[in-house]
A = this chain, B = another copy of it.
Amino acid sequence: MAKPLPVSPLASPLPALGVVAGVRLGAVAAGIRYQGRTDLVVAEFAEGTTVAGVFTQSKCPGAPVDWSRTALKGRSARALVVNAGNANVFTGRAGVETCRATAEAEARLASCAMHEVFLASTGVIGEVLPADRITKALPKLHGALSETGWEDAARGIMTTDTFPKAAVRMIEIDGVPVTIQGIAKGSGMIAPDMATMLGFIATDAALASAVLQTLLVKGVSGSFNAITVDSDTSTSDMVLLFATGAAGNRAIPDADDPALAAFREALNSLLLELALMVVRDGEGANKQIKIMVSGAVSDVSAREVAKAIANSPLVKTAVAGEDANWGRVVMAVGKSGEPADRDTLTVAIGGVTIARDGTVVEGYDETPVVAHMRGQEIEIAVDLGLSTGAATMWSCDLTHGYIDINGSYRS
């Protein structure tokens, strides 16, 4: 990239990060693509660490996605290697070989099996990722890993991100203190249906991988799978959740166990916090858009309607222009293809009902809505008036910044 991007006006400050017992991590400048910044991140996990993962639904996933999807079957994780700047996608046999060589080198350093090493890459597609850049940098990085390396890791996985993303929660399981901490990256090529970016979360809780997987899948449905920046689904994205067990809580066999109530809630809110950071770093974003759809024939249908609104370039440019153009919301509902009836449709922006039963409300005063549109967090609510299906999605506006960033990304 020619020059650094200005930091998003919606950026969140990095929270005070703690440690997660059993996790050491760090970052190094391996010169993969960027100059003068870190671009290779490693995390190593204590023996006995379990893992859960969700991956992009792309039919053309990158080699690291294939690798990690396979590794996940072993249910055990000892290391994670992430590079930024090259996605290792559509690189044929060379891409597979880079994954193998990376995992082999890291397994030797971490004294673990190759299938306990997880890999993720993000960046440009179709260029060979030279394995030796990574394997040469790994030994030095291994020597510098630290329990306090979280911020370095959050910065090292960034690509077009304009701010590092991390979140932390502390709760208890059966009276035992437990930490959940995670980092994420992502700003473009974000669309629902997993995983739409990179997220790495670790906890010191002791949780079987099957329990962990259930918790993660449920958690992403209301967070990482409920955000969209530009409707484009990446070939590379994944969210991994590691549990080291260092906290020493008793084994809990069921994800629905009441003892996990606080953990579930904390995990879900952490996932949502990270996901919203991605939206708030949406390429060129000046405003966050929350879309609430109710009254649909089902939750799935509500989600499709919300997605149609969230992805509509005309809705997103209207928000960018601070124009309360609710007609475009109606258009997006109509194009979703989901059951909808013009004559039972209600549209509200910023809590103000604008249209009801197929027409604008009598005496509609645009003033409060105009004021709402000038803010940074826009709320659009649609009630279809058909049944009880509901869904919420988050998106951002579509601005000149998006064009600037994506019209010259590779150059």
Residues of A within 8 A of B (CB): 56-61, 87, 89-95, 124-128, 188-189, 191, 230-235, 311-314, 317-318, 320-321, 323, 325-328, 330-343, 345, 355, 357-360, 398-400, 402-403, 406-411
With a CB–CB cut-off of 8 A, which chain B residues contact A409? 318, 321, 323, 325
Contact status of A320 and B407, CB under 8 A, knowing A61-B334, A124-B327, A330-B60: yes
The verdict on A232 contacting B320 (CB below 8 Å), with A126-B326, A314-B188, A403-B400 known, is no
User: Which listed residue, B58, B94, B233, touches A359 by the CB 8 Å rule?
Assistant: B94
B327 with A89: CB separation less than 8 A: yes
A90 to B333, CA, bound (A): 12
- Assess A320 versus B403: contact at CB under 8 Å? Given A60-B342, A312-B232, A409-B325: yes
Is B345 a contact partner of A60 (Cβ separation < 8 A)? yes
CA distance A256 to B76 in the complex (A): 64
Known: A58-B335, A317-B402, A335-B58. A126 touches B330 (CB 8 A): yes
Q: Bound state CA distance, A364 and B93, in angstroms? A: 17
Say yes or no: A125-B60 contact (C-beta < 8 A), given A232-B335, A313-B231, A403-B398: no
Name the B residues within 8 Å of A126 (CB-CB).
Answer: 326-327, 330, 355, 360
- Is there an interface contact between B406 and A331, defined as CB atoms closer than 8 Å? no
* Cross-chain contact B408 with A357 (CB below 8 angstroms): no
Contact check, A313 vs B359: say whether CB atoms are below 8 A apart.
Answer: no
* Most chain B C-beta atoms within 10 Å of own C-beta, residue among A313, A326, A358, A360: A313
Q: How many chain copies does the complex carry?
A: 2
Q: How far is the CB of A309 from chain B (nearest CB, A)?
A: 11
Contact B340 A59 (CB under 8 A): yes
Contact across chains for A317 and B403 when beta carbons are under 8 A apart: yes
Specify the chain B residue showing the minimal Cβ separation from A338: B59
B402-A232 in contact (CB<8A): no
24 residue pairs from A and B, CB less than 8 Å apart? A56-B334, A58-B331, A59-B335, A59-B338, A59-B340, A59-B341, A60-B342, A60-B345, A90-B355, A90-B359, A91-B360, A92-B358, A92-B359, A126-B330, A128-B360, A231-B231, A231-B313, A232-B328, A232-B335, A233-B331, A313-B398, A318-B406, A323-B410, A325-B409
B59 touches A334 (CB 8 A): yes
In the complex, are the beta carbons of B323 and A408 less than 8 A apart? Answer: yes
Taking the closest CB of chain B, its distance from the CB of A57, in whole angstroms, is 7
The distance in angstroms between the C-alpha atoms of A332 and B230, with both chains bound, is 12
Q: Which residues of B contact A399 (CB under 8 A)?
A: 403, 407
- Measured between C-beta atoms, what is the minimum distance from A407 to chain B in Å? 3
Q: What 8 A-B pairs are tightest by C-beta distance, nearest first?
A: A125-B327, A92-B359, A321-B407, A60-B334, A58-B334, A317-B406, A233-B335, A126-B327
With a CB–CB cut-off of 8 A, which chain B residues contact A359?
A: 90-95
In the complex, the answer to whether A232 meets B125 with C-beta atoms within 8 Å is no
Q: How far is the CA of A57 from the CA of B335 in the complex (A)?
A: 7
Which residue of chain B has its CB nearest to the CB of A189?
A: B314
> Could you say which residues of chain B place their CB within 8 Å of the CB of A333?
59-60
- Do B125 and A59 have beta carbons less than 8 Å apart? no
Question: Which residue of chain B is the closest to A61 with respect to CB atoms?
Answer: B334
